[in-house]
Amino acid sequence: MEFGKFRLLIWVISTMCLIKCSIQFQPIDNYLLDCGSTTNSSIRDRVFLADTSDYHFLSNPEQESVSASNSQPISSIYGSSLYRTARIVNKTSNYTFSINQHGRHFIRLYFFPFPLNAGTYNLSTARFSVSAHGFTLLRNFQPDSTPVVKEYSLNITSDELVLTFTPSPNSFAFLNALEVISHPDELIPITAKAVELPRNHHNLMTQALQTVFRVNMGNQTVLPDNDTLWRHWYPDGTFMKYNNLVQFVSNITAVNYTTGDPAFDIAPLSVYGTATKLNTQYNPSALLNNTWSFNVAPGFSYLVRFHFCDIIERPPSQLMLNIYLNSMSVAKDLNLGEEMPNVWGAPFYLDAVTKLNGNGILNVSIGTSLAFGSYPESILNGLEILKISDSNGILEDGATGVNSSTSRSNSKILVIIVSACGAVFVLVLLGCMFFVINRRNRRKRKSSNEEYFTTNGTKENDENTLFSRSKMGYRFPLGAVIEATDRFSESLVIGIGGFGKVYKGILSDGTIVAVKRGAPQSHQGVSEFQTEIEMLSQFRHRHLVSLIGYCDEKNELIIIYEYMENGTLKNHLYGSDLPKLNWKQRLEIAIGSARGLHYLHTSSQLAIIHRDVKSANILLDENMMAKVADFGLSKIGPDLDKTHVSTAVKGSFGYLDPEYMTRQQLTEKSDVYSFGVVMFEILCGRPVIDPSRPRGMVSLVEWVNEWRKRGELEKVFDPFLVGKMKMESVRKYVEIGEKCLAENGVDRPTMGDVLWNLECALQLEGSEVKSPRVESDSGVGVSSTGFNEGSVGDFVGVSMSRVFSEMVKGEEGEMR
C-alpha cells in the first residue's frame, strides 16, 4: 500500500482516536473465578473467588470439581495456584454473569489438564466447545498439556453474559479459572475501512476477537501485574526469524505518554520501554527487515497492532520504517523520528487488518526505510495479533475443525487503522504529512529534471537515470564506518584532500565504498559537509559521483560515496605509473564530466555551481566512465552580490576563473573556465601548476598561451598523443577549450555548448566520420579555426603568475 493511501486514511481515523486516557483502570464488571476451588486465590492484589461455595454463576451446580495433587510442578507459571483445581462440566452448562456496563469485555479462560490422583476423569481427554452471544469461542477444543489462557474480547450489549460449555459427544469439558472484566472500548477500534478494496468496510464493532499473540519486543515478559488490563505479554525471542541481526533495547524512562497519565491502557510502559531493533552495527547498509513469524489459522482475518516507541539513543535524525505483513506493505516510510522534536519517546501504534490465506504463517516485517535521511534502523516495541470472528461467528477451529474457510474469498483485505494517544498522535501525523508533502515536492522536482532531458536531448535520456533507491544516502552509525575502514587504517587511505583523508572501505554486505573523513573540524568544514550531502542527495546523475551515506556522530564528519575503481583523472594524466590514456578515452572522459557539470548547471532553476572543477575531482569508475566529485564548495548561484566582500575566493589554484578572482563574481561560467583548464590538462598531460618550469610557464594556461603566441601549439600536446589523434578532432577540441578560457564569463560557452562540441570532436575522431551538425543554439558552431589563428585576447587570463609566485606550495595548493 502506498503511503498516499495511508495518508488519506489518517483523516478518517484521526477523529476517532483521540483516546481519553483513563485514570488507573477500574473495570465495572470484574468477575474472577477460581473454578473447582474451595478457597479464594489471590494473584497479587486480585482475588479469584472460590466457586464451590457459591454456584450462582453456573446453571448446573451439581457439576463435579477436581483438584490436583500438591506436587504439581507448575509453580513457575504465572497464576499457578489457579491451575490446581478445575470444574468438570459433563453436560451443556451455562456460566451467567450480569453485566453492568455494556461494551467490550475480556473473557479469559484458563485451561490446564493436570493429572488427577484418582477419579473417573482424565482431563487430557476432554473435548468441548465454548460459545457466548452467538460466537463460537472454542470448537471441539482439546487442551494442550501446558497451561493456557484463552483471551477474547466481546462487545456485550445485553445485561447478561452467558458462556455456554458444551462437551463433545462422549466427552466432557473443564475449566480451571475464568475472568470476565470490562475493558476500555477504545482498545478495539470500532471500524476499519479496507484500503485496497474500498467496498469492504471492515466493521469490528460487533465482532468478537481472540488474542492469538501478544508479544513484547525486547525479549522480555510483561506479566499481568504490570499491565493495567492484566494482559500477559510474551517475549518475542521465539518468534524472531533472524535473531542474529537484532539487538534488544530497554529504556523505560524514555517513554513519554505526554498526557501525563501513566495508566494509559493501550500498552503499558514496560512494553513501550523495551524494543527489538536491528543491529545496525552489524550491517550498516541496513537494507534489512526484522521479521517475526507466527503460526496462525488460515482463513481468518486478523487485527494486527504494532506498538512503537522511539526509545533508541541516537543522533537526532528521522527514524522511518517500512512495515509489512506477509510481503504486503502496511506502511511505507512511517516516520517515528524527530520531524517533531517533542515526540521523542511518545508511544504510537498502528493497526492493520489482513486476511490470511495459504499456509497459516504470518510474517511481520519491520524494514528500514530507503528514504533519504532516514536513520538505518528498524524498531518494534510490541505486537498484538487478534483473530477476528468470521461471518459465522466462529473464532476457533478445534483440532478436528473444518478448513472450508480457506477456500473462501481469496481477496486480500488490507485495512489500516491508525490510532494513537491523544495529541501526540496528531503531532506524529502532522509530522508524517509534512514529510510526505516534502517528499512529493522533491519528487516533482526530480521528474521535471527528467522532462528537461527528454525534451532537450537525444542521447541524454538514459544519462539521467537516477541511481537505484538502494543507493540513496543513509546516516550511518559511526561503528559501521569504523568497521568498514578497519578503524580508519592508514593502509586504506586512497586520497587526501582539503577536507581530510579518503579511505577505501568495505561495508559488511561487501559493498566497496570511499569514505571521506573530515579532519578535526572547523566551522567551515561543517558547512562544506552539509553542502556536499545536500547537493549529492538532490542531484543524482550518472556522471556525478553518488552518495551512499554519511555519519556525523561524535564530532565526526564522514561522507560515504560509491567507490571509484580507477581513481582520479589526474592520476591517469601524469605523475603516476598508470598506462596512458588514448585520445578517444580522454575525449570520452571529457564528455562525461561535461555532462555531469551540464546537469548541475541546468537541472534546477538556479544553476548549481561546482566551484572546484579540477582533474583531481573527476573520478573514473571501473569502465573509465567519468564522474564529477567533491561538492563541498558547491553553491546555488549565481552569486553576484558584491556586498559580501568578505566572502573568500574558493577553489583550487590553476583552475580559478580570473573574473571570479578579481571581481568575486561567481557564475556557472566559472566552472566553464575551470573545465577549460581541465581540457588542456587532458590534452597536454601536464599539471596545471608545474613549479619546475621557467617563470611564465608555471601555469598550464600561461604555458599554453605562450606556445600559442609562438604559433606552435602542437608543442603543448602530450607527447604520448602526438601522431595518434585526428587533426580535425583536436582542432575542434582546442577551439572549444580556448573559448572556455575567455577572460570574461559572457564570452565563454555554456557547458551545453562545450558538451556538444566535444561530442563533435569525438565523432571526428571516430572511424566513421560524419559531418557534424553545424547549427547550435548558442552560436558556438563548428568553424575551421586552425591552431595558429584566433584571438589571443580570448586566451589570456589575468596574469596567473602574480598569484602563483606567492602560493606555489604544491601543484594544487588550496585556499580553503
Please tell me whether residue 243 binds ligand NAG under the rule CB under 6 A. Answer: yes
Of the listed pieces 48-56, 575-583, 627-635, 710-718, which binds ligand NAG according to CB under 6 A?
A: 48-56
Selected from 24, 327, 391, 771, the binder of ligand NAG by CB under 6 A is: 327
Please tell me whether residue 16 binds ligand NAG under the rule CB under 6 A. Answer: no
Selected from 14, 22, 59, 281, the binder of ligand NAG by CB under 6 A is: 59
H-helix or E-strand spanning residue 572: helix 569-573
Please tell me whether residue 367 binds ligand NAG under the rule CB under 6 A. Answer: yes
Please tell me whether residue 237 binds ligand NAG under the rule CB under 6 A. Answer: yes
CB of residue 541 to ligand NAG, shortest distance in Å = 25
**Cβ atoms within 10 A of the Cβ of 91, count?**
13
Residue burial 574-606, b: 16+ Cβ < 10 Å; e: rest: beeeeeebebeebbbbbbbbbbbbbbbbbbbee
Q: Is 639 a catalytic residue?
A: no
Q: Which is nearer to ligand NAG, 94 or 801 (CB)?
A: 94
Q: Which is nearer to ligand NAG, 92 or 582 (CB)?
A: 92
CB of residue 198 to ligand NAG, shortest distance in Å = 22
Of the listed pieces 247-255, 562-570, 602-610, 672-680, which binds ligand NAG according to CB under 6 A?
A: 247-255
Round to whole Å and give the CA distance between 107 and 560.
55
Residue burial 4-35, b: 16+ Cβ < 10 Å; e: rest: ebbeebbeebbeebebebeeebebebebbbbb
Selected from 14, 65, 142, 256, the binder of ligand NAG by CB under 6 A is: 256
CB of residue 50 to ligand NAG, shortest distance in Å = 4
The active-site residue out of 265, 390, 612, 753 is 612
H-helix or E-strand spanning residue 32: strand 30-34
Rg (CA), the chain: 36
Please compute, for residue 147, the number of CA atoms within 13 A of its CA located in the half-sphere on the CB side.
19
CB of residue 223 to ligand NAG, shortest distance in Å = 7
CB of residue 74 to ligand NAG, shortest distance in Å = 17
CB of residue 173 to ligand NAG, shortest distance in Å = 11
Please tell me whether residue 39 binds ligand NAG under the rule CB under 6 A. Answer: yes
71 DSSP 8-state letter: T
Of the listed pieces 154-162, 439-447, 633-641, 787-795, which binds ligand NAG according to CB under 6 A?
A: 154-162
CB of residue 252 to ligand NAG, shortest distance in Å = 6
Q: Which is nearer to ligand NAG, 265 or 532 (CB)?
A: 265
Q: Which three cell numbers stand for residue 734?
A: 582546442
Nearest in space to 343 (alpha carbons), one of 435, 251, 430, 217: 430
User: Within 273-292, which residues bind ligand NAG (CB under 6 A)?
Assistant: 287-289
Nearest in space to 139 (alpha carbons), one of 114, 176, 116, 171: 171
Chain residue at closest Cβ approach to ligand NAG: 237
Q: Which three cell numbers stand for residue 191?
A: 471500524
In the block, residue with C-alpha cell 500498552: 267
Do residues 538 and 546 touch, judged by C-beta distance below 8 A?
no
Round to whole Å and give the CA distance between 324 and 332.
9
**Cβ atoms within 10 A of the Cβ of 566, count?**
16
Selected from 292, 294, 324, 680, the binder of ligand NAG by CB under 6 A is: 324
Phi, psi of 45 (to 5 degrees): -100, 20
Size of the site for ligand NAG (CB under 6 A): 58
Selected from 326, 511, 521, 571, the binder of ligand NAG by CB under 6 A is: 326
CB of residue 55 to ligand NAG, shortest distance in Å = 13
Selected from 153, 211, 285, 365, the binder of ligand NAG by CB under 6 A is: 365
Round to whole Å and give the CA distance between 589 and 528.
26
**Following CA atoms 397, 401, 402, 406 in sequence, which dihedral angle do they give, to the nearest 10 degrees?**
40
Selected from 142, 226, 247, 508, the binder of ligand NAG by CB under 6 A is: 226
Round to whole Å and give the CA distance between 652 and 638.
19
Q: Is 642 exposed, middle or buried (0-12, 13-18, 19+ CB in 10 A)?
A: exposed
Q: Which is nearer to ligand NAG, 104 or 540 (CB)?
A: 104
Please tell me whether residue 162 binds ligand NAG under the rule CB under 6 A. Answer: yes
Selected from 185, 486, 690, 743, the binder of ligand NAG by CB under 6 A is: 185
Q: Which is nearer to ligand NAG, 40 or 791 (CB)?
A: 40
CB of residue 362 to ligand NAG, shortest distance in Å = 7
**Following CA atoms 613, 614, 616, 620 in sequence, which dihedral angle do they give, to the nearest 10 degrees?**
70
CB of residue 515 to ligand NAG, shortest distance in Å = 23
**Cβ atoms within 10 A of the Cβ of 721, count?**
18
CB of residue 206 to ligand NAG, shortest distance in Å = 5
Selected from 21, 50, 633, 761, the binder of ligand NAG by CB under 6 A is: 50
Please tell me whether residue 158 binds ligand NAG under the rule CB under 6 A. Answer: no
Please tell me whether residue 122 binds ligand NAG under the rule CB under 6 A. Answer: yes
Of the listed pieces 234-242, 613-621, 690-698, 784-792, which binds ligand NAG according to CB under 6 A?
A: 234-242
Selected from 30, 98, 117, 125, the binder of ligand NAG by CB under 6 A is: 125
Selected from 41, 129, 155, 757, the binder of ligand NAG by CB under 6 A is: 155
Length of the chain in terms of residues written = 816
Give the 3-state secondary structure of residue 186.
helix
714 DSSP 8-state letter: G
Of the listed pieces 194-202, 249-257, 486-494, 516-524, which binds ligand NAG according to CB under 6 A?
A: 249-257
Selected from 148, 254, 492, 493, the binder of ligand NAG by CB under 6 A is: 254
Q: What is the DSSP string of 508-520?
A: TTS-EEEEEEE-S
Q: Which three cell numbers stand for residue 309?
A: 516507541
Round to whole Å and give the CA distance between 60 and 53.
14
Could you tell me the sign of the dihedral formed by the alpha carbons of 715, 717, 721, 727, in that order? negative
Give the 3-state secondary structure of residue 416.
strand
33 DSSP 8-state letter: E
| 527-566 footprint of ligand NAG as x/- string (CB under 6 A) | ----------------------------------------
Q: Which three cell numbers stand for residue 681?
A: 590538462
Of the listed pieces 357-365, 573-581, 630-638, 787-795, which binds ligand NAG according to CB under 6 A?
A: 357-365
User: Within 391-430, which residues bind ligand NAG (CB under 6 A)?
Assistant: 402-403
Phi-psi region of 610 (alpha: psi -120 to 50; beta: other; left: phi over 0): alpha
Please tell me whether residue 363 binds ligand NAG under the rule CB under 6 A. Answer: yes
CB of residue 431 to ligand NAG, shortest distance in Å = 13
User: Within 63-102, which residues bind ligand NAG (CB under 6 A)?
Assistant: 64, 90, 92-94
Round to whole Å and give the CA distance between 642 and 107.
77
Round to whole Å and give the CA distance between 676 and 657.
10
Selected from 20, 28, 30, 53, the binder of ligand NAG by CB under 6 A is: 53
Q: Is 256 exposed, middle or buried (0-12, 13-18, 19+ CB in 10 A)?
A: middle
Give the 3-state secondary structure of residue 163.
strand
Of the listed pieces 219-227, 387-395, 528-536, 799-807, which binds ligand NAG according to CB under 6 A?
A: 219-227
H-helix or E-strand spanning residue 246: strand 246-250
Cis peptide before 298 (omega within 30 of 0): no
Q: Which is nearer to ligand NAG, 226 or 508 (CB)?
A: 226
Active-site amino acid positions: 612
Give residues in contact with ligand NAG (CB under 6 A): 39-40, 47, 49-50, 53, 59, 62, 64, 90, 92-94, 103-104, 115, 122, 124-125, 155, 157, 162, 164, 185, 190, 205-206, 219, 225-226, 235, 237, 240, 243, 251-254, 256, 258, 269-270, 287-289, 293, 313, 324, 326-327, 342, 358, 361, 363, 365, 367, 402-403
